[in-house]
Amino acid sequence: MAEFKRHEALVAEATECLESGDWACAERAVRGLLCDAPHDSNLQLHLAGILYEQERFEECIRFIDSIGTKTPDFSYLKTKSAQLIKEREELGFEGSMHFRVEFEGHPSKSDVMEALAVLEVAYDSLCHLFDFRPENKMSLVLHKSSEYQGLGPRPEWVAAVFDGKLRVPVEMMRYREVYRPVLFHELTHSFVRAMTRAKVALWINEGIAQVVDGSRTNNPRPEGAAPSLQSLTEPFVKEPSEDKALLLYWYSQKMVERLLARNPSFVHFREFVQSLRKMETDDALEKFYGVKTSQLLDEVK
The CATH number covering residue 107 comes to 1.10.390.10
User: 215: domain range?
Assistant: 199-301
Task: Look at residues 155, 190, 225 and tell me which one is the last residue of a structural domain.
Answer: 190
HSE (CB half, 13 Å, CA atoms) of 93? 15
Type of residue numbered 264: P
Same domain (yes/no): 104, 12: no
Task: For residue 2, count other CB atoms closer than 10 A to its CB.
Answer: 6
Query: What whole-number distance in Å separates Cα of residue 184 and Cα of residue 145?
Result: 23
Same domain (yes/no): 137, 233: no
What's 42's domain CATH number? Answer: 1.25.40.10
Same domain (yes/no): 217, 122: no
Residue pair 191/134 in contact by the 8 Å Cβ criterion: yes
Residue pair 102/142 in contact by the 8 Å Cβ criterion: yes
- Into how many domains does the chain fold? 3
Same domain (yes/no): 58, 135: no
Task: Look at residues 67, 90, 113 and tell me which one is the last residue of a structural domain.
Answer: 90
pTM of the model: 0.71
Hey, what's the torsion of the CAs at 122, 215, 208, 130, to 10 degrees?
30
pLDDT in tens, the chain (301 residues): 778 788 888 888 888 888 766 788 899 999 999 998 999 999 999 999 999 888 889 999 999 999 987 788 999 999 989 988 888 787 777 778 888 888 877 778 888 888 889 889 999 999 999 999 887 778 888 887 776 666 565 656 677 888 778 888 888 877 778 888 888 888 998 888 888 866 788 999 999 999 998 888 888 898 888 999 999 998 887 788 888 888 999 999 999 999 999 999 999 999 999 899 889 999 999 999 999 999 999 999 8
Task: For residue 135, count other CB atoms closer than 10 A to its CB.
Answer: 11
Same domain (yes/no): 281, 291: yes
Same domain (yes/no): 100, 186: yes
Task: Look at residues 157, 190, 223 and tell me which one is the last residue of a structural domain.
Answer: 190
pLDDT at 103: 82
